[in-house]
Amino acid sequence: MIAKVSVFIATSLDGFIARRDGSLDWLGAPVTEDQEDYGYREFIDSVDALIMGRNTFEKALSFGAWPYSGKRVVVLTRGAVKIPAELANTVSAAAAAPRELVKRLSAEGASHLYVDGGITAQRFLSAGLIDELTITRIPLLLGEGIPLFGPTGGDILLRHLATRSYDNGYVQSKYRVVGD
């Protein structure tokens, strides 16, 4: 059985996942007093493994505490990536094509994969491998930056599953990718 593949990501209202320089300093604005996690804990608890690109991996390393403790992480890269010794048991690097990687992780027992990072999400979406997208829109216009979506090679039909709005203006929508 092939694993379910999901994206769970935040964008600015104008569709950017980071500033042009990769900065995420705008995430979390406005901050809620109750420290709402927008369903992230429930989502991450359902995930067996994460797949991310090298840039996303390096950004996650800069957060201080490793945000994916206890989760298997595969870093997609064609080049060398330095994996800190304390993460060597759960983080590995691969140069595999998206379809090959999903098949391999599924064969190894993964039932739910989390794809993180813009370019990686775009590659998996273009390959027809994403099953669900959860996108949280933050009420901020960046004007420019790194977009969530890029060329897909054709139309990708989505079925809306749910939308939730939060008091701080965040709006989270969940979609299922409609198969061929």
* Residue-wise pLDDT tens digits, 48-64: 999 999 989 998 988 88
Q: Would you say residue 98 lies in a domain?
A: yes
CATH number at residue 106: 3.40.430.10
Q: Would you say residue 143 lies in a domain?
A: yes
Which range marks the domain in which residue 109 is found?
Answer: 4-17+48-166
Per DSSP bridges, beta strands 132-138 and 4-12 are parallel
pLDDT digits (tens, 9 = 90+) for 85-98: 999 999 999 999 99
Decide if 48 contacts 109 (C-beta within 8 A): yes
Q: State residue 22's pLDDT score.
A: 87
Q: State residue 93's pLDDT score.
A: 93
Which of helix, strand or coil describes residue 43?
helix
Which residue ranges of the chain lie beneath pLDDT 50?
none
φ/ψ (deg, to 5) at 131? -95, -40
As for how many domains the chain has, the answer is 1
Residue 157 and residue 180: Cα distance in Å, rounded? 9
Residue 132 and residue 175: Cα distance in Å, rounded? 6
